Amino acid sequence: MSAAEYPESEGVEPVRGSARPSGLLDVLRVASVVLDAEGRIVLWSPQAEELFGYEAREALGQYAARIMVHEQHIDLVVKLFADVMGTGQSWAGAFPVRCKDGSTRLVEFRNMRLLDDQGDVYALGLCADQSTVHRLEREVALSTRMIAQSPIGLAVLDTELRYVSVNPALEEINGVPAEEHLGRTAREVVPLMD
């Protein structure tokens, strides 16, 4: 379907390529890797190249376990892969991965089974460097606490100046619960405000 077939997308232009990270997934540098039913790499994103060090031409067609897993972990990885492929249950967790340069890095994985229109089964792995994930979790937690505890009324507004979120101080200042702010403009929430 094209954008014209979605009325809510009128006037929305797709954003192509960005010179610098613009969203959480960009900051996390989330890599995508797709394996066939035998565990061979059939898709290797540019972020996977960056995370693991292998270029796509080096990784595609290779058994993922052979190039990315230390020998002592092979049996565990084969079992996890078989469980995801056999049961369809996703697996998430951190795992040590061997990079092209021989170094090891802890990587956060979200693995799930995919089924294409031909009935073929694949495994999708979404992965990011664990230290980056933990750093962002800490920063978000700190920011959330600072905003919640601030005595200054703070709000996030969308492009049409409607509330997306408010902190407790603004709830108190306006005398209106947070949920009654959401999706409304300041004039709608506090009509007598200058």
Indicate whether 43 and 71 sit together in one domain: yes
**What pLDDT was estimated at residue 3?**
46
Over 70: is that where the pLDDT of 70 sits? yes
Q: Which domain holds residue 68?
A: 25-135
Task: State how far the alpha carbon of 194 is from the alpha carbons of 36, 81, 146, 168, 187, in Å.
Answer: 62, 61, 28, 21, 9
Is the residue at 1 inside a domain?
no
Indicate whether 113 and 37 sit together in one domain: yes
For residues 109 and 91, is the Cβ–Cβ distance under 8 A?
yes
For residues 13 and 31, is the Cβ–Cβ distance under 8 A?
no
Is the residue at 172 inside a domain?
yes
Per residue in 138-164, pLDDT (tens digit) is 888 888 888 889 999 999 999 999 999
Query: What pTM, to 2 d.p., does this model score?
Result: 0.65
Tell me if residue 138 falls in helix, strand or coil: helix
Share of residues in the chain with pLDDT > 70 (%): 86
Query: E strands of 31-187, at which residues?
Result: 31-35, 41-44, 91-98, 104-115, 121-129, 155-157, 163-166
Per residue in 32-61, pLDDT (tens digit) is 999 999 999 999 999 999 999 999 999 999
| Token pair for 102 | 């021989």
Partnered with residue 162 across adjacent β-strands are 185
